[in-house]
Amino acid sequence: MVNIGELRTGQVYTFYEKRTLLHNEQYYRGRFLETREIGNEPGKIYRYIYIIRDLQEGVRKAVTITPLEWIVRVETLDEILKGKTKLNADVLGIIEEYL
């Protein structure tokens, strides 16, 4: 699992999101852009993650802005396929760029 602070701009990841206790966990693939802290009131800072992802099976892309606390975990293709392929992390990174 990748730590939020270790995400690289432009890298594709699988993001796992859970909005509230009542929501089911959802996952999607997207290209990490950045995280931002926004606070216009003293003592209140909101953290968001910006991700480019497909909205509908490759039809169009959009920037998704999600509260950081909704992101449960983040994985690379290498982590997902660990032990299921003989390809090394560098090759998987190149493949991931085209997914």
Which pLDDT band holds residue 99 (cuts at 50, 70, 90)? low
Contact 17, 25 (CB under 8 A): yes
pLDDT value of position 35: 94
Q: Would you give the DSSP letter of residue 69?
A: G
Tell whether the model's pLDDT for residue 98 goes beyond 70: no
Residue 78 and residue 98: Cα distance in Å, rounded? 14
Q: Provide the pLDDT for residue 58.
A: 60
Tokens of 83: 């032990």
Question: Using CB atoms within 10 A of its CB, is residue 92 exposed (0-12), middle (13-18) or buried (19+)?
Answer: middle
* Domain segments of the chain as ranges: 4-97
Q: What does the pLDDT look like over 1-40, one tens digit per residue?
A: 778 888 989 888 899 999 988 889 999 888 999 999 988 7
Q: Which stretches within 13-98 are classed as H helix?
A: 77-80, 89-97
Angle at 56 between CA 70 and CA 7, to 5 degrees: 40
Q: What is the mean pLDDT of residues 48-68?
A: 83
The pLDDT value recorded for residue 57 is 65
Give the CATH class of 4-97: mainly beta
Per-residue pLDDT at 33: 95
C-alpha span between 25 and 34 (Å, rounded): 22
